[in-house]
Structures are given as structure tokens and as C-alpha cells.
């Protein structure tokens, strides 16, 4: 894992247009983004088309191709990465459920470990809807779920990004999980 200060310095230099910093940033965050992606995908049964490497590359491309990207520090960057991974997985789940209804299938090349979302696409879409509903009630709790579930961030990292205390994050995490559980149960009935 790259040191927090190193990543923050690289983010600042890349934001100022230094191309070497942008390359260094990729090298500095790649392994950690891969760990986050592997964690996200590990909750699903092995499949054929989505893998850790593809998720990391897609998320990184979305992050660095933003004209208005202004990350404050390492924690803010990884919080944004967790949100990007959420939307990539949701888009993928939508395509998978469309395939079940007769949409066209496209093969994706494989590299590294193969982990699929196919069998859990509907659950992921249900979670996404529940998160959108939670955001209407509490944007803070919704962001917390994104950071924790999709970004694999620790309570301490989330506290650094949000400016809240670790006990508050833990308490909010319990509230968010309970709310999502109820929302997803009622949607499945």
C-alpha cells in the first residue's frame, strides 16, 4: 500500500498537469485498487466475464478522465474510486439482466482471476435501488455504504474522508446496514 502522503503529493502534481505524476499515481494506487476490486467481486460466485483487472482499469480510466477531478488526498481518491466501482458493477448488472431478457452477449477478454457477478446481478440492482432510496433519507449513510461496501474502506479511512469520528462511522454503519436489510427484504417480498 502506498503511503498516504505519497499518493496525496502525486494527486496534487497530476492535478497540476504533471504527466509523470499521473503515471506514478497509477503505479502507486494500482495494487490497492485491485485489492478493493477483488474484495467487491469476491462476494459473487465465479463466472465468465468480469474480473478484477477489468474492474480496476475501468474505474481508473473513469477517475483520471475527469476534467474537474480535484481529490484532496489519498482517502478522497479511494472514496471516489469506490463510487466509480459501484457504478461499473451496477452497469454490468444491468447489462447481465438485459441479456437474460434477450439482449446480446459480448465476450470480454480475461486476465488474472476470473470472478463473476452474473448470478447476483439482480441482488446488486436491488442493492443499488435501496442505496438510492437511502440517499433520499440520508446522503451520509448512503455514502458510507459506498465507501465501505464498494470501496472496501476502513472505518478510519471513512472518518478521514468525511471528517466524522470513528465511533460515529461505526454507529452509522450499523444504522445503514439495518436500513438496507429492511429495504431489500421488503423489495424481495
**Phi, psi (deg, nearest 5) at residue 164:** -95, 165
Q: Is 137 exposed, middle or buried (0-12, 13-18, 19+ CB in 10 A)?
A: exposed
User: Are the C-beta atoms of residues 113 and 35 closer than 8 Å to each other?
Assistant: no
Q: The cell 471516489 sits on which residue?
A: 80
pTM here is 0.53
Separation CA 151–CA 94 (nearest Å) = 20
Q: What is the pLDDT along the chain (189 residues), one digit of tens a residue?
A: 455 568 778 887 877 778 788 778 878 888 888 877 777 676 554 554 567 778 887 888 777 766 666 677 777 787 788 878 878 888 887 777 765 555 544 443 323 333 344 556 677 778 888 888 999 999 999 989 888 887 778 899 889 888 899 999 999 999 999 998 888 888 766
For residue 146, give the DSSP letter: I
Q: Which residues partner with 114 through β-bridges?
A: 51
pLDDT of residue 165: 96
- The range of the structural domain enclosing residue 169 comes to 4-188
Name the domain count of the chain. Answer: 1
Rounded to whole angstroms, how far apart are CA atoms 178 and 144?
13
Contact assessment for residue 53 and residue 71, using Cβ atoms and an 8 Å cutoff: no
Amino acid at each position: 500500500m502506498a503511503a498516504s502522503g505519497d499518493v496525496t503529493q502525486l494527486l496534487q502534481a497530476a492535478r497540476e498537469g504533471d504527466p509523470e505524476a499521473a503515471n506514478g499515481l497509477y503505479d502507486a494506487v494500482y495494487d490497492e485498487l485491485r485489492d478493493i476490486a477483488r474484495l467487491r467481486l469476491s462476494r459473487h460466485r465465479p463466472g465468465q466475464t468480469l474480473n478484477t483487472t477489468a474492474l480496476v482499469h475501468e474505474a481508473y480510466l473513469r477517475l483520471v478522465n475527469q476534467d474537474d477531478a480535484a481529490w484532496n488526498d489519498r482517502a478522497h481518491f479511494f472514496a471516489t474510486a469506490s463510487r466509480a466501482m459501484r457504478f461499473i458493477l451496477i452497469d454490468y448488472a444491468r447489462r447481465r439482466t438485459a441479456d437474460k431478457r434477450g439482449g446480446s452477449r459480448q465476450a470480454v477478454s480475461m486476465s488474472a482471476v476470473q470472478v463473476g457477478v452474473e448470478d447476483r446481478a439482480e441482488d446488486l440492482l436491488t442493492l443499488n435501488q435501496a442505496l438510492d432510496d437511502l440517499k433520499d433519507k440520508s446522503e451520509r449513510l448512503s455514502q458510507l455504504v459506498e465507501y465501505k461496501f464498494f470501496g472496501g474502506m476502513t472505518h478510519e479511512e471513512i472518518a478521514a474522508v468525511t471528517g466524522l469520528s470513528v465511533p460515529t462511522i461505526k454507529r452509522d454503519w450499523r444504522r445503514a446496514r439495518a436500513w438496507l436489510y429492511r429495504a431489500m427484504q421488503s423489495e424481495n417480498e
